[in-house]
Amino acid sequence: ATPRREPGLSRRELLQASGAGLSLAALPAALAQAAPAAVRSLKASAFAQAIRPGESTEVWGFNSSLPGPVLRYRRGDVAQIAVANALPRNAGTTVHWHGIRVPNAMDGVPQVTQDPIAVGETFNYEFRVPDAGTYWYHPHQMSYEQVARGMYGMLIVDEDKPIAVDREVLWALGDVKLDAKGRQVDDFGRLQDLGGGGRLGNVFTLNGRQAGRDRRLAVRSGERIRLRLVNTATARIFLLDFRGQRPLVVAHDGQAVEPHPLPQGLLLLGPGMRTDLVLDCDGAPGDTYPVIDRRDRGYQIATIAYERKPAVRSRALRDPLRIEANALPEPDPVKAVEHFLVFEGGLLGRPAIGMVDGKPLKIPEIMRSRGLSWTMNYVAEHEHAMLHTPMFTFRQGEHVVLKMVNETEFEHPMHLHGHSFRVLRVNDRPTRFREWRDTVMVAPRGSVDIAFVADNPGEWMFHCHILEHAAGGMMGTVAVE
Ligand code: C2O
Ligand code: CU
């Protein structure tokens, strides 16, 4: 076997190798300098983007950029963002700050926390960002169409003392459905998508452009990279394989987790979910490693390509990788009241029965009459939200254990607004890390138990982040009063 490491470098070589003399200790300051001035406005509009090379696709998005601008803050900052709507087709919109524990009025949910922003209007969002981490933003109005068209961006909140890395890389993963001419297929909201696996695109995207083996992440031997990943797809679930590389998981959904290798070497990233990885680049100059999505016949979404340059450092870094935890209220399962949420429905499996206006109906009939395909606790009314009939009402400060039971043949990444929760058990087995999340995958015929302190007053969405499923009935609210 050939040795994979470069021989040790002299101090001078090291300095040269690190480019602008960027030492690791100086990095947080350097990052702060590199950060663009705070974005204070987002304008939603249609514009053209070359998603596939040589094509022009009309997308909807923010500030004529796909993904929208990265919003970056420090923990505790007050974010002020004026959202202006200049969309076509008279489409109203809102912006939801996914994963941020905002005050209810700033949550961006039409009919629940605000009226949709009409074309020509502006809404001023203002909220403190209490927690560091990787978050994202997207509309909550017709989200299965607006997010699919390109309305999303990342929102990053820096820790007071970030872990020391050479560089950060942001990957917004997703997909789009394009026709042969590169136009977005206008088939949003079909019943088979609402009641099936959701609307899948036919082109994978990485930061708004076609993903593939030619999307090269150029790295240097010896570099330490923090890779912030978000799945912005409405329905596609990624199962990422960094074959030949050994990234460590350091955070899920913005919240620190005990650093650990990927279980079975794979990262499950459902719609709405985020993961922070730290990649110690231990390959040799000239090496290439694929990043593969195992869920879709092994599609290669990117290549990690080692530059033919000397190593950035001669010895691997040993700095701790543990991210400082956010101050989230710790749920006590012993004190908690246990609640259950059962999902039924979908176009496969035993036909479910749901209550509509107090009357039991079979899902196919509900689909015909209401366009709904799913029930939560046997109710097939996404008017939960519109009617302000919460699925659960919690006392402020109540400790909650919520057991989700999936009686369907489909996966559901379930998202709670306004709170983060601990994942206690998956399929009745205790989890290894009891990790904090705001979106958790519930397997077909599986269950997930979560726990949280319902401390944020207001009416909060609780829904499947396969956005077609949300539109098809997997959307309700919980109230904290
Ligand atoms: Cu990311 Cu209710 O959504
Ligand atoms: Cu779902």
Give the lowest-confidence range in 153-167, 343-357, 443-457: 343-357
DSSP code string of 88-117: STT--B--EEET----GGGS--BTTTB--B
Give the lowest-confidence range in 7-16, 42-51, 239-248, 321-330: 7-16
- Taken in order of first residue, the domains within the chain and their CATH numbers are 35-158 (2.60.40.420), 164-306 (2.60.40.420), 337-480 (2.60.40.420)
Q: What is the mean pLDDT of residues 66-74?
A: 97
Q: How much is the pLDDT for 318?
A: 79
Question: What is the b/e burial string over 187-201, where b = at least 16 CB atoms within 10 angstroms of the residue's CB?
Answer: ebeeeebbbbbbbbb
Q: How much is the pLDDT for 75?
A: 95
Phi first, then psi, for residue 185 (nearest 5°) are: -70, 130
Residue 124 has pLDDT above 70, yes or no: yes
Q: How much is the pLDDT for 198?
A: 97
Residues with CB under 6 A from ligand 1: 96, 98, 138, 140, 272, 415, 417, 461, 463, 465
Q: How much is the pLDDT for 382?
A: 53
Determine the atom of ligand 1 nearest the C-alpha atom of 470. 2
Residue 282 and residue 476 in contact, taking contact as beta carbons nearer than 8 Å: no
Q: What is the mean pLDDT of residues 9-28?
A: 36
DSSP state of 110: B
Per-residue pLDDT tens over the stretch 393-417: 999 999 999 999 999 999 999 999 9
Q: What is the mean pLDDT of residues 438-459?
A: 98
Q: How much is the pLDDT for 144?
A: 97
Give the lowest-confidence range in 305-309, 342-346, 368-372, 455-459: 368-372
> How is residue 15 written in tokens?
């300095």
Residue 34 has pLDDT above 70, yes or no: no
Nearest residue CA, atom 3 of ligand 1? 98
Instruction: State which of 374-378, 382-386, 421-425 shows the largest mean pLDDT.
Output: 421-425
Distance 473 CA to ligand 2 centre (A): 9
> How is residue 59 written in tokens?
């997308």
Residue 42 and residue 83 in contact, taking contact as beta carbons nearer than 8 Å: yes
Residue 35 has pLDDT above 80, yes or no: no
Determine the atom of ligand 1 nearest the C-alpha atom of 138. 1
Pick the closest to residue 193 from 346, 31, 13 (CA basis).
346
Distance 461 CA to ligand 1 centre (A): 8
Distance, in Å, from the CA atom of 303 to the CA atom of 214, rounded to the nearest integer, reads 7
Nearest residue CA, atom 1 of ligand 1? 98
Q: How much is the pLDDT for 305?
A: 98
Task: Tell me the residue length of the chain.
Answer: 481
Determine the atom of ligand 1 nearest the C-alpha atom of 272. 1
Distance 191 CA to ligand 2 centre (A): 14
Spell out which residues have Cβ within 5 A of ligand 2, the ion. Answer: 412, 464, 466, 469
Residue 387 has pLDDT above 60, yes or no: no
Distance 105 CA to ligand 1 centre (A): 15
In this prediction the ipTM stands at 0.98
Residue 241 and residue 277 in contact, taking contact as beta carbons nearer than 8 Å: no
Q: How much is the pLDDT for 314?
A: 84
Question: What is the b/e burial string over 203-219, where b = at least 16 CB atoms within 10 angstroms of the residue's CB?
Answer: bbbbbbbbbbeebebeb
Per-residue pLDDT tens over the stretch 286-314: 999 999 999 988 999 999 999 999 999 98
Distance 413 CA to ligand 2 centre (A): 6
Q: How much is the pLDDT for 383?
A: 52
Question: What is the b/e burial string over 224-239, where b = at least 16 CB atoms within 10 angstroms of the residue's CB?
Answer: bbbbbbbbbbbbbbbe
Q: How much is the pLDDT for 388?
A: 59
Per-residue pLDDT tens over the stretch 128-177: 999 999 999 999 999 999 999 999 999 999 999 999 999 999 999 999 99
For residue 212, give Cα distances in angstroms to 66, 304, 344. Answer: 17, 11, 36
Distance 1 CA to ligand 2 centre (A): 48
